[in-house]
Chains A and B, each alone.
Chain A
Amino acid sequence: MADTRQFSVQVEVLLRDGIADPQGATIERALPALGLGGVTAVRAGKSFRFDLAATDESDALAQASVVADRLLANPVIEESQVTVRPAGSAA
């Protein structure tokens, strides 16, 4: 078996453009109460972190993308962004 290394993965899931984001809109409407009326384009999403073993960074990215596309995001309404870095390195 090929040597593997540990990678840290971050997956960010947001609703696709054009899909109503009532959560983001509600947060945005609450912000003027903080005196921050200039905050716009608020979007609410989810963030996931996990570690995985992979032979190299592109293998790690490929595996993490499967997790993101097949489980963490519903491609009908959401899009995901995957970031991979060697475990232990600075985020």
Chain B
Amino acid sequence: MAPRVGIVLFPGTNCEYDALHAIEQLGGTAELVWHGATSASAFDALILPGGFAHGDYLRPGAIARFSPVMDAVATFASEGGPVVGICNGFQVLTEAGLLPGALQKNRGLRFVCATTTVRVERDDTALTAGVPVGTELAIPINHFEGNYTCDAATLAELRDEGRIVLRYVDNPNGSVDDIAGVCNAGRNVVGLMPHPERASDPLLGSEDGVLLLQALLCTADSSTTVG
């Protein structure tokens, strides 16, 4: 059976249909999950898509963290379920403490909307399983607060444990150590600023995001079999 992917929808999320379309195009089943939901156990994977959850008021992700669905996301993640936060979803996951660090305003205070090249650094996470390390992908970014920041101890931990999942080839926003994506210790929760769903069709100018979304669907599939 096709893996079922829940796409978490907060008030202000705006990339949910892009993610839904990309997942269905790749053979997955996708369903929107309202932020008031209290369970995510029906799904094989969760995506927190981009946008401006709760208007990005206070800080991106700061209010979304208190949405009821975040307890369900945390439970799902603690049971090993694959969770991917894209852009605003990444910000939500850091605010919720499911991923380390924070995303602050871009260097130079510039909103950046451009296609970036990111390098896959790990082939053993929910989003990059089986994607060869060193693969370079053309994937767009679209953010003001994408400048990944963490303290020196956290950065050392991320490096030592191989939890830096993606790096920018040409750092667009000032992120420490060129970080475009990180994962948790269990490697099942991944956050990234680039939008793989916007690079999932030749019409969009790049299909490189397909590799990542396919890896997520494979992870979702195998976690179903195991679980």
Contacts and interface: CB of A to CB of B under 8 A. Distances in A.
B112 to A, nearest CB: 13
Given A22-B109, A26-B109, A76 B101 contact: yes
A74 B109 contact: no
Nearest to A77: B102
Interface in B77-121: 94-95, 100-102, 104-109
B174 interface: yes
| Interface residue range, chain A | 10 to 19
Given A71-B58, A71-B62, A22 B151 contact: no
A76 to B, nearest CB: 4
B74 to A, nearest CB: 15
A20 interface: yes
Interface string B172-212: 00100000000000000000000000000000000000000
Contacts of B66: 71
B58 A76 contact: no
Contacts, number: 33
Nearest to B150: A76
Interface string A36-56: 000000000000000000000
| Interface size classification for chain B | 20 to 34
Contacts of A74: 59, 62, 95, 102
Contacts of B62: 71, 74
B67 interface: no
A63 interface: no
A15 B59 CA distance: 13
Interface of B: 58-59, 62, 66, 94-95, 100-102, 104-109, 147, 149-151, 174
Given A22-B106, A71-B58, A72-B58, 9 more contacts: A22-B108, A22-B109, A26-B109, A74-B95, A76-B100, A76-B149, A76-B150, A77-B102, A77-B104
23 contacts: A19-B149, A20-B147, A22-B105, A22-B106, A22-B108, A22-B109, A23-B105, A23-B109, A26-B109, A71-B58, A71-B62, A71-B66, A74-B59, A74-B62, A74-B95, A74-B102, A76-B100, A76-B101, A76-B102, A76-B149, A76-B151, A77-B104, A77-B149
What are the nearest 4 A-B pairs in CB distance? Answer: A76-B102, A77-B102, A22-B109, A74-B102
